[in-house]
Amino acid sequence: MRDAASKSSVPRRGEYNVYSTFQSHEPEFDYLKSLEIEEKINKIRWLKRKNQAHFLLSTNDKTIKLWKVSERDKKVEGYNTKEDTGTVRDPTHITALRVPTIKPMDLMVEASPRRIFANAHTYHINSISVNSDQETYLSADDLRINLWHLEITDQCFNIVDIKPTNMEELTEVITAAEFHPTECNLLVYSSSKGTIRLCDMRSAALCDRHAKQFEEPEDPTNRSFFSEIISSISDVKLSNSGRYMISRDYLSIKVWDLHMETKPIETYPVHEYLRSKLCSLYETDCIFDKFECCWNGSDTAIMTGSYNNFFRVFDRNSKKDVTLEASRDIVKPKTVLKPRKVCTGGKRKKDEISVDCLDFNKKILHTAWHPLENIIAVAATNNLFIFQDKF
């Protein structure tokens, strides 16, 4: 149920209330493989609004669902064949016809599954992306990318398949995939080997041959046992203009020009101070954490998360960057965030935090930026923080 007053009153800028809560997936059991399928949601993607209702795609490891979220503030009363409670009336007792009437009611927000897309992925789904035509979308797992039509649930097209004939020859997996924001035939996908491939669906039905491959040659001076793990790309996002893309690996975030494959045009270190800690991060499995990244609406700034509930914002024009903390201590609205600094050695200044004091259980993996305003959402474990610029 939603408070009717919240529909008529416009919330202040940057203020958000809970609009609706619903269960998207239930835990399942795959009897053929003796595997439990968690209800945990891996990705949510919105469709563009066509009417008053909202539509979104949500996926767990195996099943994608298309949801409709709509409002209802009227109800029909006075049916002929059933009571207002829903029980069916005995036809022999109906002596007169009634004209049903529409009555106002408390505003309800309803979520209903419109389509269920299942049984198309052998491995865990890591990405879904709606195409710019708003009719098709892709879903990607470790080794394959499928193309779906939003109206057709019983078939999809396999457009990328990197599974080797012999699984012992497997050298890389797909880590993320996304459609181009304006060109409906283009998509990109990243791999655990640190490469990003751009595919054009016009060239062939199966995009085994990429149109472009973006990869930065490894710096031999930084070569170590962990090089391959930290070069794995955890997220890739095309810019709103469609000209650039960002990729996030373990220690840095890179900006690529789609016209230049050989190297990124910008590289921003996210937490370089962790390079000396890779051994302990490997032992605790933190080195495999998958941090996401995002653009602001005008493609002038990028954001990504780190440990200790820190998140980083990089201004591409001024080349300035800032580290901020999403902390429970700032629950009071309008608290101004203070920039944080990490001390790596030597004498620690008063407002700095030592790299040895960072809490690696507190991590920000998911971030989002409002498409039109300087409002950001940051997910820190089981808290969602929403920040806006000072006004």
The chain-wide mean pLDDT, for the chain, equals 90
Please give the structure tokens belonging to residue 254. 């890179």
Query: Which letter, b or e, does each residue of 272-311 get, where b requires 16 or more Cβ atoms within 10 Å of its Cβ?
Result: ebbbebbeebeeeebbebebbbbbbeebebbbbbbbbbbb
Residue 347 pLDDT > 70 = yes
pLDDT tens digits, residue range 26-58? 998 888 888 888 999 999 999 999 999 999 999
Q: To 10 degrees, the CA torsion angle through 377, 255, 176, 131?
A: 80
pLDDT of residue 2: 56
pLDDT of residue 175: 97
Per the CB < 8 A criterion, the answer to whether 6 and 18 are in contact is no
pLDDT of residue 8: 58
Residue 3 pLDDT > 60 = no
pLDDT tens digits, residue range 239-257? 999 999 999 999 999 999 9
d(CA 195, CA 211): 13
- Pick the range with the lowest mean pLDDT from 58-62, 93-97, 130-134, 297-301: 93-97
Helical H segments across 132-270, by residue range: 227-231
Residue 332 pLDDT > 90 = no
d(CA 248, CA 255): 9
Q: Which residue has the higher pLDDT, 59 or 74?
A: 59
Q: How many CA atoms lie within 13 A of 61 on its CB side?
A: 14
Band (286; pLDDT cuts 50, 70, 90):
very high
pLDDT tens digits, residue range 79-91? 888 887 778 888 8
Instruction: Domain ranges for the chain, please list them.
Output: 19-117
Mean pLDDT of 269-296: 95
Q: How many CA atoms lie within 13 A of 117 on its CB side?
A: 28
Classify burial at 98, counting beta carbons within 10 Å of its beta carbon; exposed 0-12, middle 13-18, buried 19 or more: exposed
